[in-house]
Structure 1
Amino acid sequence: MLFRHLPDEIFQALSGSNRALIEAVLNDLADIFYDHAEDPIKDKSTIIESIEDTLHKLDTLAWHDDQKESFDSPKTIHDYALRIYHRLVNTGWLVEEQELYRVSVLMTPQISMLLRSLVEISRHGKRNYGATVLSILSNLESVAKHPKERGVTLRQSAEASRDFSAHLNQILLGIRSLQRELFASRDPKAIVAGFFDLFVEGILIADYKTIKTSNNPFRFRRQILELTQEFLNNPETMGQVAQCYVDQQLITMAEAQAMVEKDCRDIIQTFSNIEQRLERIDEYRYRLEKRAADTARYMDSSRPGMANKVAGVIADVAKFDKLPTLKNVIGARFVGMASAAQPTKRREPPPPRVMTPSEVSADAIRLRDQQRRFHEARQVTIPKMQNYLDKQIAAGDSKHILDFTIESVEDFVCFDHLRYVGSLGVSAKKIEESFEVQFTDQYVDVHNFVECREFTVVRRSKA
């Protein structure tokens, strides 16, 4: 049975007249018992103090005696805390353990899991799935690289995918129920307040606005599907991951293989139909936003839905061959541009465009390589100049400007920058330590190519 691990009186505390106080206390006790840095076994005084702190935060206190008890009606905060504490102990939420004079309080694992689930339901709100999709992709890449050691992380990816799929279903069902509730309401304030409180704050995904941008959380869907499909098509990888399942969960190989295949297919199913499910969510979202915008526009001037009613009147009038005389509304002027205003129409996404890779011609590739090599040859680097000087001077001690040879673009660039070696920065200190450029006041023509001041490059002595 589902409740065979829970006490029979577990929900009595939440079904009586004092359930509001009990809910507030249990909500705060969950944070105390879930503290990962503290001992899960608490002192009785700590629990009572926590209950008192919770009661201090409440606006009003009122205790209803649902059944005859031996306690007197509470009058102080401490009396309220004791009454709630004993109610939680009697109904099984808390368990007391006495060791000599010390009374400790704890929660059984089943009660702790129940309270955690109830708190998650009450705090259910926005979620951010950018990190979830990234973690799934990271786990799958880890499995692809190390299937023997990290194959068990495939299970975590499948669980995250199933949780993600379930949350999308909750969003869809939540929007449908909210739509029926708001459409049935005739109170404009309730419609607008329900839209912002229930939909914007409670149902919508935190990163919903990024879904249709280039930085959306599902941009890694293709990689996830390719990796998962590769696992299914590769028997060797499937066997290694299944062996990891066997070692971690102590099951048979047949059970592990079936589990691996199911996990892969769950991931593929989740990310294959994500677009259709998001489109349905977007359709319901658009209807809700349109109703809320329409209500807010006519809240001060007319009733909600006036635009639809006016459109219905015009459609009914169009059925007559001769327009009838509306005697009761002459001079009222309620039909006009302002009263029949509609919210902005939904913008349809552009149709998909097939991307075809364009082939680059061989001539363009050859020209691009030539340009790249030419730009590389024009770059001045210290190793190039060092090699040029070593090749020109070789074993000699000096060399005149007219004795230098220029055989390529690299040689010309190095020769042209010999005159400015002193201004090339700290990296050129190595060249200045090995060679010295001595200038004269005369200008010479070098190989009928460049005219510059005469200079001689002299190798410095090590001494």
Structure 2
Amino acid sequence: MSFATLNTNLFKAIAGDNGRLMLDLLLELDAFLDPAQLADEPTPLQVRVFLRDYLANSHLRLEIESGEAATTPQSPEHYVYYRLRDTGWIREELEIGYRYVVWMAQEGRRLLQFLRSMGAEHPSLGVVCLSVRSNLAEVVKDPANGSLIRKAADDMEGFLNRLRALVGNIREIHYVISGGDVSGSGNFNFYFEEYLGELFLPNIEKLALKGNPNLHASKIRKLVSDIRFSLERLEVCAKAYQRDDIANPSIETVEADLDRLSLAFDGIGPLFKKTQDYARRITRRMHERIKYTVHTPSNIGQQIEDLLDLIGRDDSIETLPSPVISEKLISESRLAKPKAKSVPAVATVRRQSKPLWEKRAYNQLKQEHIHFQRYDPDRVVSFIETNMGDRAQMTTDDLTIKTADDMMAALHLRLLAQGVSKTHALYPLLAEYSVTFDEHEWTQLEYMAGRRLIITRQAFSEISRND
């Protein structure tokens, strides 16, 4: 759409106090007049019925301008219909059979799409510079991937445009916090919702930490120079442009894309500095406002009312000029509390750390305890063979426990009777010994309690051992 052919009367319908309400109505009307949703174009009567129902359901009150009251019908739907038709939002045409049809003007639909895109949520700024650097490095490594230059240039220009919008948004927020007019919530909500929620957390923070263009500046410029001043790479890249169906594939096209990339990258530096400067200024401004709010007394309204009462009861105030007020009248109504005295510093008691030898002794004892409790098949086999001797079977009544190793081996022996998984360290012992519970007798061993265990040497283990 050219500015020379743009119908500026479109803005008359959405200007004024009811502009936002009219935009909502136009969005609904655009959906109603969508050709994909209608079998035939509606008549003016159908459009006015739609407007009447919308105005009734949304409780919209549109004031008819005094200059048009004499020539325009007084009903709201007629007023809105003729208002939209005269400003160029909708068009009506007489078809065959004296039938009028209505449709949405193409200029109005494009303007609605543009305004809708302004209010849409944009994703946070990603690591675009790192992506461009990787694409250029891939082209230097293999010029057959020369079409990545076009993608890198487009990404860099898109990143620059989004950074421009980010700087503009931060400037608007700084204007509001500094005392500018804004419709809607107060300064604090505007700061915490618009700045922190919409700009700082998804954009400025990640841009400063991960996407800082200064981290990739020298590398990107070097990669561009390596491609630009190498005729062989430029020729291969031009062939890659032709292979990927890029318009006008030539060396000049590749050089033009490299120029676009360099120009866009050079513009990122100043904008990035502005984001950091505006962020610091906004933080400082908001800190001042929060500090003033904290030190402002909660009964400020009562203090002002008491001051006005004192002035009203003073008989001499009529004979004095209005700016002259005694110190007594204003000394008791200060609007800010004095800064509290700082708390004197107190020496911090430092905790004495334990001696290093005590910590080493504790760690050594802990490691020995862990090593002692681990599953050791050799210890269990030695315990069984020592107590079984030449016998083929024995019970826990025949066991002799004299040391801590014997006690731990006996406990692990009971664990074999309870059952272990195939991945357990003691599972291979089941191939040589069978350990089961005696369901009829209790053990008589002094150091153990519970059912008696029956330990039997497997027959095939002797054969395998002899082999």
TM-score where L is the length of structure 2: 0.54
The aligned residue for residue 221 of structure 1 is 208
**C-alpha separation between the residues in 1 aligned to 2:20 and 2:373?**
74
**C-alpha separation between the residues in 2 aligned to 1:197 and 1:267?**
32
1:426 shift after superposition: 5.6
Q: Does 1:52 align with 2:48?
A: no
Q: Does 1:436 align with 2:434?
A: yes
The aligned residue for residue 84 of structure 1 is 80
Give the letter aligned to residue 209 of structure 2: R
**SS of residue in 2 equivalent to 1:232:** helix
**C-alpha separation between the residues in 2 aligned to 1:196 and 1:292?**
20
The aligned residue for residue 256 of structure 2 is 255
The aligned residue for residue 420 of structure 1 is 415
The aligned residue for residue 25 of structure 1 is 22
Q: Deviations over 1:321-356 (max 9, x none)?
A: xxxxxx9748x46424x62533889xxxxxxxxxxx
CA contact (8 A) 2:436 2:454 kept: yes
Q: 2:101 aligns with which of 97, 100, 103?
A: 103
Q: Does 1:4 align with 2:1?
A: no
**C-alpha separation between the residues in 1 aligned to 2:132 and 2:411?**
57
1:278 shift after superposition: 1.1
**C-alpha separation between the residues in 1 aligned to 2:263 and 2:8?**
37
Q: Does 1:335 align with 2:331?
A: yes
**C-alpha separation between the residues in 2 aligned to 1:98 and 1:87?**
19
Q: Does 1:132 align with 2:114?
A: no
Q: Given the superposition, is the C-alpha separation of residues 230 and 20 from structure 1 closer, same or farther in structure 2, using an over 3 Å criterion?
A: same
The aligned residue for residue 223 of structure 2 is 235
When the two structures are aligned, how many residues end up with a matched partner?
A: 367
Alignment of structure 1 residues 100-249 onto 2, 5 Å: 103-108=101-106, 110-117=107-114, 132-133=124-125, 136-137=126-127, 151=152, 152-178=154-180, 197-202=185-190, 205-206=193-194, 208=196, 218-219=205-206, 221-225=208-212, 228-229=216-217, 232-233=220-221, 235=223
1:7 shift after superposition: 2.0
CA contact (8 A) 2:435 2:453 kept: no
1:172 shift after superposition: 1.9
Give the letter aligned to residue 94 of structure 1: I
The aligned residue for residue 348 of structure 1 is none
Q: Deviations over 1:57-103 (max 9, x none)?
A: 3464542352587x65324xxxx223322321222222447776683
Gaps of 5+ in 1: 182-193, 307-326, 346-369, 402-411, 445-452
1:132 shift after superposition: 0.9
Give the letter aligned to residue 87 of structure 1: R
Q: Given the superposition, is the C-alpha separation of residues 257 and 371 from structure 1 closer, same or farther in structure 2, using an over 3 Å criterion?
A: farther
Superposed CA RMSD in Å reads: 6.3
Q: Given the superposition, is the C-alpha separation of residues 20 and 286 from structure 1 closer, same or farther in structure 2, using an over 3 Å criterion?
A: same
**SS of residue in 2 equivalent to 1:302:** helix
**C-alpha separation between the residues in 2 aligned to 1:22 and 1:91?**
14
**C-alpha separation between the residues in 2 aligned to 1:261 and 1:454?**
84
Q: 1:300 aligns with which of 299, 302, 327?
A: 302
Q: Deviations over 1:44-64 (max 9, x none)?
A: 467545533442234645423
Q: Deviations over 1:153-202 (max 9, x none)?
A: 45444433332222112222333352xx7xxxxxxxxxxxx898353455
**SS of residue in 2 equivalent to 1:284:** helix
The aligned residue for residue 282 of structure 2 is 281
The aligned residue for residue 312 of structure 1 is none
1:425 shift after superposition: 6.1
CA contact (8 A) 2:394 2:455 kept: yes
CA contact (8 A) 1:33 1:40 kept: no
TM-score where L is the length of structure 1: 0.54
Give the letter aligned to residue 90 of structure 1: D
Q: Given the superposition, is the C-alpha separation of residues 2 and 82 from structure 1 closer, same or farther in structure 2, using an over 3 Å criterion?
A: same
Identity in percent: 14
CA contact (8 A) 2:417 2:453 kept: no
Gaps of 5+ in 2: 139-144, 229-233, 309-323, 341-363, 386-391, 396-406, 447-451, 461-467
